[in-house]
Amino acid sequence: MKTIRYPKKKDWSALTLRPAKKTVALQALVSKVFANIQREGDKAVMKYSKQFDSCAVVSTKVSRSEITQASKAVTPDLKAAIELAKNNITKFHAAQRETTQRIETTKGVTCWRESRGIERVGIYIPGGTAPLFSTVLMLGIPAKLAGCKEIVLCTPPNAEGNIHPAILYAAQLVGVTQIFKIGGIQAIGAMTFGTATVPRVDKLFGPGNQYVTAAKQLAQQQGVAIDMPAGPSEVLIIADQQSVPKFVAADLLSQAEHGSDSQVILLSDDAEVIAATQAALAQQTKALSRNKIVTQALKNSKAIQLKSIAECLNFSNAYAPEHLILAVKDSANYIKEIGNAGSVFLGNYSCESAGDYASGTNHTLPTNGYARNYSGVSVDSFVKKITFQEVTAKGLQNIGPAIEQMAAAEQLDAHKNAVSIRLAALAKPKKN
């Protein structure tokens, strides 16, 4: 992890760049895979599963018996942990559901908005280097709370053609309706176009590597909505003398182990904090089972010393991190200074892992700087908002003249007439 001291503000833009594969090559590959899936359906999906995931399965759809067997394979302790997480995630997300409010904007004119669950959603669960069953909870629970009728899940199988039991257990626990053993670009393509086996979905959710992110962006061009362009995981930590370097190192490593293309950033106003954290990183990395991945991710990462915590916050807002940890004294005092971040963790004991698993907040968050203009997944992500209005005769008399004036000024005579014809009818005396 490279240490940079007091960079000039003109250099910040370069320091906020994430590691990335060449976009042109990515887009060309995704376009080719999509075209073949659109043309050949399941045949192309099976071909790419064998090519990219080194896995040949007889059937991509997970059977009921596979789910039953998976449930038996999950230990009671893990089931209890998943249940605890499910309860907290449900509690937090259930509070996000809106209560309908009817607003009388003018006497006789009532407007309101109601939510409707998106009918069929697709959720992608990474499983290549780690079986992210926690993401099943993070996506399945708000989808169910939103009222989505169908929840389609795709996740890559292992070399033997099996899905990790905890993924299947979590899927049935939250009410996923169909599960498929498909990963990567081909999974996104299958849910985008639909095949004889995999249904076409209305909106796609879930994190993934740059291939999955590129595939989701192309899916959007094909008329399928996406949650956000979520790519490789990242964390930015601001630490001062009140921080605990071994805690900071542990949080940096928790994100670095997601993948070799992940990035972690440490900001501090104290050289000793950076040095102590670097030493803890080296020590803790040796004990990790995924140390090769971690080591590669750390090559993409930086420790930056700035003049003050205020300057650290300014840099963080420029970086717009997926996860932001404030390991500083009186961390809550800085909340209003945070403008761009996916999810924020305050104080020495708010480890990022809490948000990843069981605190209740969602861990599907914008990466690669998209926290500037995207929010993390919530119940709102799974619903459409429909507006309603009811205008009485008196209401039309109150706002009709203004509508006529505006329509006439825009030279839209038919719009004006739709009001004028009604006002004229209302103006006629009633016959006895």
Q: Could you read off the pLDDT of 330-358 as tens digits, one per residue? A: 999 999 999 999 999 999 999 999 999 99
Query: Poorest-confidence range of 13-22, 26-35, 38-47, 92-101?
Result: 13-22
Q: Do both 51 and 97 map to the same domain? A: yes
- Out of 164, 234, 258, 322, pick the active-site residue: 322
Domain that holds residue 220: 23-227+380-384
pLDDT of residue 432: 59
Pairing of strands 2-5, 302-305: parallel
pLDDT of residue 430: 72
Give a yes or no: residue 44 inside a domain: yes
Give a yes or no: residue 13 inside a domain: no
pLDDT(130) > 80? no
State the DSSP code for 259.
-
Q: Do both 243 and 221 map to the same domain? A: no
Q: Do both 131 and 39 map to the same domain? A: yes
- Residue 97 is encoded by which pair of tokens? 């559901």
Contacts of 366 (CB under 8 A, 6+ apart): 228, 229, 230, 320, 322, 342, 373, 374, 375, 376
DSSP 3-state of 99: coil
Give a yes or no: residue 10 inside a domain: no
Give the model's confidence band at 21: pLDDT under 50 very low, under 70 low, under 90 confident, else very high: low
> 291-299 and 245-256 helices cross at what angle (nearest 10)?
100
Q: How far apart are CA 313 and CA 308, in angstroms?
A: 9
Q: Do both 150 and 94 map to the same domain? A: yes
Q: How far apart are CA 108 and CA 320, in angstroms?
A: 46
Q: Do both 202 and 261 map to the same domain? A: no
Give 25 or 391, the one with higher predicted confidence.
391
Q: Do both 157 and 31 map to the same domain? A: yes
Q: Do both 180 and 38 map to the same domain? A: yes
Closest CA to 302 of 339, 338, 277, 329: 277
Give a yes or no: residue 76 inside a domain: yes
pTM for this prediction: 0.92
Q: Do both 314 and 266 map to the same domain? A: yes
CATH assignment of the domain containing 255: 3.40.50.1980
Tally of structural domains, the chain: 3
Give a yes or no: residue 362 inside a domain: no
Give a yes or no: residue 60 inside a domain: yes
Average pLDDT, stretch 129-140? 91
pLDDT of residue 22: 65
| Placement of tokens 């590959």 in the chain | 29
Query: Poorest-confidence range of 142-146, 270-274, 426-430?
Result: 426-430
- Out of 93, 164, 323, 363, pick the active-site residue: 323
Give the model's confidence band at 172: pLDDT under 50 very low, under 70 low, under 90 confident, else very high: very high
Average pLDDT, stretch 199-227? 93
pLDDT of residue 213: 87
Give a yes or no: residue 359 inside a domain: no
Q: Do both 213 and 253 map to the same domain? A: no
CATH assignment of the domain containing 397: 1.20.5.1300
322 a catalytic residue: yes
Q: Do both 203 and 259 map to the same domain? A: no
**For residues 240 and 331, is the Cβ–Cβ distance under 8 A?**
no
Give a yes or no: residue 369 inside a domain: no
Classify the phi-psi angles of 154: left when phi > 0, otherwise alpha if psi is within -120 to 50, otherwise beta: beta
| Inter-residue long-range contacts of 397-401, CB under 8 Å, 24+ positions, other chains counted | 397/108, 397/423, 397/426, 398/106, 398/107, 398/108, 398/109, 399/106, 399/109
337 a catalytic residue: no
Contacts of 351 (CB under 8 A, 6+ apart): 247, 250, 251, 254, 325, 345
pLDDT(285) > 70? yes
pLDDT of residue 128: 62
Q: Do both 178 and 317 map to the same domain? A: no
pLDDT of residue 133: 95
Contacts of 412 (CB under 8 A, 6+ apart): none
Q: Do both 78 and 197 map to the same domain? A: yes
Average pLDDT, stretch 356-375? 95
